Structure 1
């Protein structure tokens, strides 16, 4: 190889690495949580008032020595607990509209801020993979409080991936079921889909380089962070939900996840529903399905 070709190759590799690192910064570096906007809608104001009256801040120091925060809503006298996982760049507080229906079913609520979100420590977003270990620790925090707890896991988007990745771990018997809404099959698959969607550029050759850089900076490769692999190991019943008009986490992913799962399972897909909008598009179908699934398994 001549000197000019060698120099050109070095420049190309350097440029690709720099560009991939910039993309990784955009995708995975901590973002500011969107501010909470006031609303004149009576239902929203009532929900806010309900949350403010009951929610208390909780903290947990994880095994990576990160201070994690969340919100806990007590349902006096109940041994039911719903752990509600938020999506990308969101926070636990902003999941109160999903938590309230579970509260009305008699559940205590834990709504954690994922690492690098809300009030939790962290500089790099884990897309559900390192968060699965945090979730297991939150579960054991609940069991320290209440050894008779009956726990369900619920999440949407990145939070749904977190739930699926958690469900593939060895969990205590008190974890009874999981519900995922619009989760992705793996970080690799989601990045492959999202790069053209968000940045209007092809995913290759940047995607493999960004995945390697993620291992160095965030502790995982995109292929390693696989929800589809984890649902194959899942032992608890799981409800898979997806909007059929979801163009961010592609709708076909839910069928791959459902087919991979070897646990007791059910699937709900909602026509014309976009990303994480199934509950808004068909609220009666959504919550009746969720409630039926919960009651089938929570007391087993």
Structure 2
């Protein structure tokens, strides 16, 4: 009887081990790399704004679906790139764009790789996307010579923005919301939140490593906290202290690591990951738009 129970237990353990291996190798990496395609047909015209809708070529095989909304002031004062988070799309920011163009910003935004209406099979959390940002700066500078360019990024977009600020010093300022310190840590945290139990690091590191093999990138080098140490441009960080997706400890660590002497950290009391506008209300909006207003009124000099 005991021998039978031991054999049964061993079989169960082997089955669990095989199932875990198959899921970690062939399922979970794609949850990191292919977050889904949220799309929207809304355009800036819904806000009474002129715009250009075009396909933005970033590699021989990848085009990104982009919008360019010019400033509505008599003289444009700056360019701004806006980057959305995982599973989102560019159109979620059109309400903010309507405010920013009145400040004098020419705004460029696109569906990031493997998102929305853009091409690209995999998301790499900034490893390749920072080069997309550099190509966007090329486009904006050719279109608007002599204007400074800034960047906004939310969540995954914030991680891309931080890496872009370190990678390309043509970016003169940035506002970063609700982002993480490094891909390995946030993957472990997400896994624990979704699974409801602590996950061993060896397992999440295996999944992250496997994602890198599939998408041909080096995931353990995706570390916005290292990028922060190289950033000297003016930076505004915003994070909710009730964020269940990316704990606010990430923002504290990023803020401490930033090399910039012109940096600020605004905490939205009670703010979760996707409700900062609703929870933070006017004080949050002032932190957001106040930073961008300062950047075009000479406060970044």
Structure 2-normalised TM-score? 0.85
Matched-pair contact (CA < 8 Å) for 1:103–1:109: yes
Alignment counterpart, residue 33 of structure 1, candidates 31, 38, 43: 38
Match of 2:108 in 1: 110
Match of 2:80 in 1: 82
1:130 Cα offset (Å): 1.7
Please give the alpha-carbon distance, in whole angstroms, between the structure 2 residues aligned to 1:126 and 1:170. Answer: 18
1:266 Cα offset (Å): 0.6
Match of 1:99 in 2: 97
Deviation above 6 Å: which 4+ runs of structure 1? 8-13
Alignment counterpart, residue 213 of structure 2, candidates 188, 213, 216: 216
1:16 Cα offset (Å): 4.1
Matched-pair contact (CA < 8 Å) for 1:176–1:297: no
1:201 Cα offset (Å): 4.5
SS in 2 for 1:126: coil
Deviations 1:109-157 (A, max 9, x none): 1111101111211111222332111111111110011111221101111
Matched-pair contact (CA < 8 Å) for 1:258–1:267: yes
Match of 1:160 in 2: 158
Alignment counterpart, residue 193 of structure 2, candidates 188, 197, 217: 197
Please give the alpha-carbon distance, in whole angstroms, between the structure 1 residues aligned to 2:51 and 2:35. Answer: 25
Give the 5 Å matches for 1:186-265. Answer: 186-204=182-200, 205-263=202-260, 264-265=262-263
Choose 1 or 2 for highest CA Rg.
2
1:179 Cα offset (Å): 0.2
1:26 Cα offset (Å): 2.4
1:35 Cα offset (Å): 5.3
Please give the alpha-carbon distance, in whole angstroms, between the structure 1 residues aligned to 2:132 and 2:189. Answer: 27
Alignment counterpart, residue 58 of structure 1, candidates 54, 61, 68: 54
Please give the alpha-carbon distance, in whole angstroms, between the structure 2 residues aligned to 1:120 and 1:288. Answer: 32
Please give the alpha-carbon distance, in whole angstroms, between the structure 1 residues aligned to 2:274 and 2:175. Answer: 13
Match of 2:9 in 1: none
SS in 2 for 1:168: helix
Matched-pair contact (CA < 8 Å) for 2:85–2:156: yes
Please give the alpha-carbon distance, in whole angstroms, between the structure 2 residues aligned to 1:235 and 1:113. Answer: 27
Matched-pair contact (CA < 8 Å) for 2:36–2:87: yes
Matched-pair contact (CA < 8 Å) for 1:177–1:294: no
SS in 1 for 2:125: coil
Matched-pair contact (CA < 8 Å) for 1:85–1:159: yes
Matched-pair contact (CA < 8 Å) for 1:153–1:163: yes
Match of 2:3 in 1: none
Structure 1, unpaired ranges of 5+ = 1-7, 38-44
Please give the alpha-carbon distance, in whole angstroms, between the structure 2 residues aligned to 1:89 and 1:275. Answer: 13
Please give the alpha-carbon distance, in whole angstroms, between the structure 2 residues aligned to 1:220 and 1:12. Answer: 29
1:9 Cα offset (Å): 11
Structure 2, unpaired ranges of 5+ = 1-11
